[in-house]
Amino acid sequence: MKQNTSGQGVTRRHFLGYVTAALGAFVATVVAVPVVGAFVSPALKKKGSGQWISLGAIDKFTRKEPKMVGITVVKQDGWVEARQPRVVWVVAEDNNKFRVYNAQCTHLGCVADWDPQDRTWKSPCHGGVFAFEDGRVLAGPPPRGLDSLEYKIEGGELVVNYQDFRLGIEEKTAL
């Protein structure tokens, strides 16, 4: 169907050509954006920036005892993404203030457990003991106290900025 042979207007063949080219460009964009993102995003991801994870409603934490909360973190290794379990300890204080600790013992990474008799955290591996008041080392080989984590309250939930830290050294260094 030729509508115009004088060079003005658009023939059906030209019109289909434009539509095909436009569709091709659209498909190329849709495919390219995630592919480029997948390559660029891990390279730009800031080391030690942490992951904000909800620990649930703030009213489930009381001042009486620290509460252990299990979370899942997403670890990016190059282009590979893995989900890994982690544990934090939460201590509620007055006026909606909290202390949140990474439960990994700073010696070699065993999960420090709460001893309600002694009111200390104890690492089951090599006898590390941490104080309730501030997570400092009371005994054993841990080179520093429990690592505290940044938190915020959002919509009535306690949200922690979870990070792993280098083990076995005195300085608190995010991985």
Q: Which residues bind ligand FES (CB under 6 A)?
A: 105, 107-108, 110, 123, 125-128, 140-142
Q: Which is nearer to ligand FES, 104 or 163 (CB)?
A: 104
Q: Which residues of 135-148 are buried (b: 16+ CB within 10 A; e: fewer)?
A: bebbeeebebbbbe
Indicate the residue whose CB is closest to ligand FES: 123
C-alpha span between 27 and 49 (Å, rounded) = 34
Q: How far is the CB of 127 from ligand FES (least distance, A)?
A: 6
The phi-psi region of residue 29 (left if phi > 0; otherwise alpha if psi is between -120 and 50; otherwise beta) is: alpha
Min CB(112)–ligand FES separation in Å: 7
Distance CA 132, CA 73 (A): 25
Nearer to ligand FES by C-beta: 90 or 128? 128
- Letter for the amino acid at 25? A
CB of 124 to ligand FES, least distance (A): 8
Q: In the bound complex, what is the minimum distance in angstroms from residue 140's beta carbon to ligand FES?
A: 5
CB atoms within 10 A of CB 66: 23
Q: Which is nearer to ligand FES, 128 or 135 (CB)?
A: 128
